[in-house]
Chain A
Amino acid sequence: MSTVSVSLTQEGSRKKSFLEEVIEHTPGDCRLSSCIQCGTCGGSCPSGQDMDHTPRAIFAMISAGLKKDVLKSNTPWFCVSCYYCMVRCPQSVHITDIMYTLKRLAIQEKMYDDSKAPDFSKTFIEWVENYGRAFELGLMSMHMIKHNPFGVFKMAGMGMGMISKGRMAFTPTRIKGMDSLKAILNKAKELEAMA
């Protein structure tokens, strides 16, 4: 697609385009610059009706360099990682991976609006970084207390059920190699900051 490559071919000390930035921050070959704007992704998306922009629109906005609008969009936060778009995309664009990249960039640039998701992810990670293990269910309960006290009330029946069935634990397990895991993660964060 030609609109994409125009600005890319200019040499010199020019600032990286937003498109290049997104590609660079996505693992593997994400093929974003091959997007032909066919809209298959948006048509496949189960969260489409809740998204500010369809995945196709987001990709057009990335190409157009509308960084702020893209990072403020709720679209990546409503992506449920179902991968339908990815298997249907005629250009094999790694759409779901790009959604993760947009979440990361939005957090880095403190751009997200009113999304509970970053906080949910952060709590989860705190557990992983301190125990080496986590579990979604315990985390969900914690998250609900923080954000949705009425939700806790609604879910209390479920919590009680999980406890009586012996399925509710209160803390994650701590792994033996916590020191080595911490060293690995610290090094990884250093490397990420250098990129």
Chain B
Amino acid sequence: MKYSYFPGCSLERNASAYHVSAMAIAEPLGMEFIEVDDWNCCGATEYISLNLTASYALIARNLAQASKETSTKQLVAPCSACYLNLKKCDAYMKESPSLEEKINTALAAGGLSYKGGTLKVRHLLDVVVNDIGYDAIAAKVTKPLKGLRVAPYYGCMIVRPKLGENGTFDNPEYPTTLDKLLKVLGATVIDFPLKAHCCGGHMTQISESTGFELIRRLIKGATDYKADLIVTLCPMCQLNLDAFQGAMNSHFNTSYHMPVLYFTQMIGLAFGMDAASLGIGTELVDARAALAKIGVEVPEAELVVKKPPKEALPMPSMPEEK
């Protein structure tokens, strides 16, 4: 099956492991991804706080670019934030002719146009479980994730809100698609009560105590249920739970150690692919011990310390550089 693919900025940067693993499983699952030509950032939740028309025009430029692709009308996004932005923009343009007209007046200035409802915006998980299906996936499993206890984590934007006539592809309060998928892969799936709770998004930047508390609850929850790792489907969730876990620990004086991997990486492992080809090893909270339980070896990550280029934006200087 063919899909237009909107990677989003995170996948091109800090979440390249998600991108790499999504590409790796595409072929065995029979998915063909065509990257949206010259896509731009969808604005996350930031742009909409400042300028409504511009934020929708920004998103709509991507829809317009994707709709030029004639071989498919399905647009897939692996990032929950991008997915919701694209889906919302499409739905509201369809629902409100005045918004559609306004956005198109803006798009016309850049030689583009988009009609609400032209594309079907989907999240990568939706495509994997509903188009490819659990049976087809099960048939490809050569190395079941036997003995691995996983906490499926959906976060918020993938199952909420209900938009348009199709609503969401999973239950907004108690989603189960990722649970079923991980079971098919052979893992022991814990019934994670916080699976659709929010990780706080950019809250660590606004109020540390609020942001860290939201992260702590999730990590503690998974730890209490004796999960070996959390499985996620959003680069922002991964960033919050993985990269901020250390800072959260020092904030609360705790010592949680909960690795966070992408569902695409879990599929790849169950298909017998090697860890490095799935971007495993780039997570900050080491997943080695957890993966050793299923006999997966993670090669030592090579230290690629890049110096910032001259024209780079100011960055905190790291202790080692001094």
Contacts and interface: CB of A to CB of B under 8 A. Distances in A.
Contacts of A177: 38, 40, 110
A12 B322 CA distance: 69
B92 interface: yes
A82 B198 contact: yes
Q: Is the interface of B mostly helix, strand, loop or mixed?
A: loop
A160 to B, nearest CB: 5
B169 to A, nearest CB: 14
A53 B13 CA distance: 37
B156 A175 contact: no
A161 B246 contact: yes
A168 B41 CA distance: 18
A158 B110 contact: no
A192 B112 contact: no
Interface size class of B (residues with CB under 8 A): 35 or more
Contact of A189 (B16, B51, B112, B157): B51
B61 interface: yes
B61 A84 contact: no
Contacts of A162: 14, 243, 284
Interface residues of A, number: 86
B308 A170 contact: yes
B38 A46 contact: no
Q: Is the interface of A mostly helix, strand, loop or mixed?
A: helix
A142 B49 CA distance: 19
A87 B201 CA distance: 19
B320 A160 contact: yes
Contacts of A144: 205, 316
B156 A154 contact: no
Interface of A: 25, 27-29, 46-47, 50, 77-78, 80-84, 86-87, 94, 96, 100-101, 103-104, 107, 115-118, 120-122, 124-125, 127-128, 132-138, 140-145, 148, 151-152, 154-173, 175-177, 179-181, 183-189, 191-192, 195
18 contacts: A50-B207, A80-B198, A80-B201, A104-B51, A107-B50, A133-B40, A136-B44, A137-B10, A144-B205, A145-B314, A156-B316, A156-B318, A158-B246, A166-B16, A167-B13, A167-B16, A187-B108, A191-B106
